[in-house]
Amino acid sequence: MKRRTLLAAAGATLGLVPLGNPIRRTLAEEPMASAETAYDLVAVKNGEPDKLLDAAMEALGGMGRFVRPNQTVVVKPNIAWDVEPERAANTNPLLVRRIVEQCRAAGAKTVYVFDNTCDNWRRSYKTSGIEQAVRDAGGTLVSGENERYYQPVKVGGKRLLEAKEHELILESDVFINVPVLKSHGSATLTVSMKNLMGIIWDRRYWHRNDLHQCIADFAAYRRPDLNVVDAYRAMLHNGPRGVSVRDVTEMRSLLVSTNMVTADAAAARLLGLAPDQVDYIRLAAAQGVGRLDLGNLAVKRIVL
Amino acid sequence: MGIAPGRRIPQSNERADTVQQLRLRPLRVLVSLAFLALTTALFIDVQGRLPADLRDAVLYLQLVPSLIRFLEGPSWGAAGFLLVLAATLLFGRVYCSSVCPLGTLQDLVAWVAGRRRRNPKAVRYRYARPHSRLHYGILLAALASAVGGSLTLLVLLDPFSLFGRSAALLLQPTVAAGNNLAGRALESWGVYGLAPVSWQWAGAGVLGATAALLLLVLILAVRHGRLFCNTLCPVGALLALGSRLSLFRIRIDQGRCNTCAQCSVVCKAQCIDLKHKRVDFERCVACFDCIPACPESGIRYGIAWARTPDPPAPPPSRRPDGRRRLLLGGALAWTAGLATRGRRSQASPVATDPPRNLKPSTIPVAKTRAVAPPGTGSSARFNATCTACYLCVSACPTQVIQPALLAYGARGLLQPSLDFGAGFCTHACVRCGEVCPTGAIRRLDTEAKKRVRMGQVHFIEDNCVVVTDRTDCGACAEHCPTRAVFMVPYREDPRLTAPELDPEVCVGCGACEYACPVWPHKAIYVDGEEEQGLAEAPRERYPESPVQREPVPDGGADFPF
Closest-CA residue of chain A to B196: A146
> CB–CB of A237/B538 below 8 Å?
no
B73 within some domain: yes
* Beta-carbon separation of B398 and A120 below 8 A: yes
Range B355-377 average pLDDT: 87
* Beta-carbon separation of A236 and B353 below 8 A: no
Q: Are residues B119 and B234 in the same domain?
A: yes
pLDDT at B344: 35
Q: Write the residue in B189, B193, B497 that is nearest to A186 by C-beta.
A: B497
Contacts 24+ apart (CB under 8 A), B117-124: B123/B265, B124/B225, B124/B265, B124/B266, B124/B268
pLDDT of B14 higher than 90: no
The DSSP output letter for B521 is B
Say how far residue A214 (Cα) sits from the centre of its chain: 18
B131 within some domain: yes
Buried b (16+ CB within 10 A) or exposed e, A178-214: bbbbbbbbbbbbbbbbbbbbbbbbbbbbbbbbbbbbb
B230 within some domain: yes
What is d(CA B113, CA A216) in angstroms, rounded to the nearest whole number? 64
What is d(CA B472, CA B485) in angstroms, rounded to the nearest whole number? 15
What is d(CA B366, CA B360) in angstroms, rounded to the nearest whole number? 17
Cα distance from A218 to chain B (closest Cα, Å)? Answer: 16
The residues that bridge with B252 in the sheet, in sequence order, are: B299
pLDDT at B315: 53
pLDDT of B457 higher than 60: yes
What is d(CA B413, CA B404) in angstroms, rounded to the nearest whole number? 8
- The sign of the torsion formed by the CA atoms of B472, B473, B478, B480 equals negative
Domain boundary among B247, B273, B306: B306
Range B488-516 average pLDDT: 95
* Beta-carbon separation of A204 and B552 below 8 A: no
What is d(CA B512, CA B509) in angstroms, rounded to the nearest whole number? 8
Q: Write the residue in A119, A212, A272 that is nearest to B472 by C-beta.
A: A212
Instruction: Pick the residue of A204, A205, A276 with the most B CBs within 10 A to test the interface with B by mutation.
Output: A204
Amino acid identity, position A291: R
The residues that bridge with A230 in the sheet, in sequence order, are: A180, A254
pLDDT at A121: 96
B343 within some domain: no
Cα distance from A193 to chain B (closest Cα, Å)? Answer: 16
Taking only the tens place, the pLDDT of each residue in A122-141 is 999 999 999 999 999 999 99
Element (H, E) at B302: strand B299-303
Q: Which residues, at least 6 apart from A131, have a Cβ–Cβ distance to it below 8 Å?
A: A125, A141
ipTM over 0.90: no
Buried b (16+ CB within 10 A) or exposed e, A25-49: eeeeeeebeeeebebbbbbbbebeb
pLDDT at B77: 87
pLDDT at A62: 96
B238: helix, strand or coil: helix
Residue B380: closest CA among B144, B142, B148, B206:
B148
Range B307-313 average pLDDT: 51
pLDDT of B179 higher than 60: yes
Q: Are residues B161 and B301 in the same domain?
A: yes
* Domain ranges, residue B238: 22-191+204-306
Fold (CATH) for A40-303: Rossmann fold (3.40.50)
Establish how many alpha carbons lie within 13 A of residue B319's alpha carbon, considering only the half-sphere containing its beta carbon.
Answer: 8
Amino acid identity, position B223: R
Establish how many alpha carbons lie within 13 A of residue B21's alpha carbon, considering only the half-sphere containing its beta carbon.
Answer: 25
pTM reported for the whole predicted model: 0.87
Q: B345 pLDDT band (50/70/90 cuts)?
A: very low
> CB–CB of B348/B366 below 8 Å?
yes
Instruction: Pick the residue of B472, B495, B548 with the most A CBs within 10 A to test the interface with A by mutation.
Output: B472
Question: Between the CA of residue B276 and those of A289, B251, B267, B271, what are the distances in Å?
Answer: 94, 12, 16, 11
* Beta-carbon separation of A186 and B552 below 8 A: no
What is d(CA B9, CA B111) in angstroms, rounded to the nearest whole number? 28
Least reliable range by pLDDT among A286-300, B42-56, B350-364, B442-456: B350-364
Peptide bond into B520 cis (omega under 30): yes
What is d(CA B349, CA B424) in angstroms, rounded to the nearest whole number? 14
B436 within some domain: yes
Cα distance from B97 to chain A (closest Cα, Å)? Answer: 31
pLDDT at B139: 96
Pairing of strands A174-178, A226-235: parallel
Cα distance from A276 to chain B (closest Cα, Å)? Answer: 12
Taking only the tens place, the pLDDT of each residue in B381-416 is 999 999 999 999 999 999 999 999 999 998 899 999
Q: B330 pLDDT band (50/70/90 cuts)?
A: low
pLDDT at B307: 45
Range A217-229 average pLDDT: 98
Q: B5 pLDDT band (50/70/90 cuts)?
A: low
What is d(CA B429, CA B48) in angstroms, rounded to the nearest whole number? 14
Q: Write the residue in B397, B398, B472 that is nearest to A211 by C-beta.
A: B472
pLDDT at B555: 45
Q: Which residues of chain A does B547 touch, with a Cβ-Cβ cutoff of 8 Å?
A: 183, 188-189, 236-237, 271-273
Q: Write the residue in A20, A207, A273 that is nearest to B517 by C-beta.
A: A207
Total domain count for chain B? 2
Angle at B346 between CA B533 and CA B421, to 5 degrees: 80
Q: Are residues B156 and B50 in the same domain?
A: yes
pLDDT at B352: 44
Q: Rounded to the nearest 5°, which phi and psi values hold at B30?
A: -60, -50
> CB–CB of B65/B438 below 8 Å?
yes
pLDDT at B470: 94
pLDDT of A13 higher than 50: no
pLDDT of A19 higher than 90: no
Q: Which residues of chain A does B398 touch, with a Cβ-Cβ cutoff of 8 Å?
A: 120
Establish how many alpha carbons lie within 13 A of residue A30's alpha carbon, considering only the half-sphere containing its beta carbon.
Answer: 10
Question: Which string of DSSP letters, residue by residue, matches B121-188?
Answer: TS---------HHHHHHHHHHHHHHHHTT--HHHHHH-HHHHHHHHIIIIIHHHHHHHHHHHHHHHHH
Least reliable range by pLDDT among A14-23, A230-239, B139-148, B373-382: A14-23
Closest-CA residue of chain A to B516: A204
Establish how many alpha carbons lie within 13 A of residue A225's alpha carbon, considering only the half-sphere containing its beta carbon.
Answer: 27
> CB–CB of B441/B373 below 8 Å?
yes
C-alpha distance across the termini of chain A, in Å: 45
Q: Are residues B142 and B269 in the same domain?
A: yes
Averaged pLDDT score across all residues of chain B: 87
B443 within some domain: yes
Q: Which residues of chain B does A181 touch, with a Cβ-Cβ cutoff of 8 Å?
A: none
* Beta-carbon separation of B427 and A244 below 8 A: no
pLDDT of B347 higher than 50: no
Least reliable range by pLDDT among A59-63, A240-244, B232-236: A240-244
Cα distance from B529 to chain A (closest Cα, Å)? Answer: 24
Taking only the tens place, the pLDDT of each residue in B64-85 is 999 999 998 898 888 999 999 9
C-alpha distance across the termini of chain B, in Å: 85
Q: B119 pLDDT band (50/70/90 cuts)?
A: confident
The DSSP output letter for A253 is E
pLDDT at B115: 84
Q: B322 pLDDT band (50/70/90 cuts)?
A: low
Q: B149 pLDDT band (50/70/90 cuts)?
A: confident
Q: Are residues B122 and B252 in the same domain?
A: yes
Peptide bond into B196 cis (omega under 30): no
Cα distance from B479 to chain A (closest Cα, Å)? Answer: 7
- The sign of the torsion formed by the CA atoms of B199, B201, B206, B211 equals positive
What is d(CA B91, CA B87) in angstroms, rounded to the nearest whole number? 6
Domain boundary among B283, B306, B329: B306
B198 within some domain: no
pLDDT at B439: 95
Averaged pLDDT score across all residues of chain A: 90
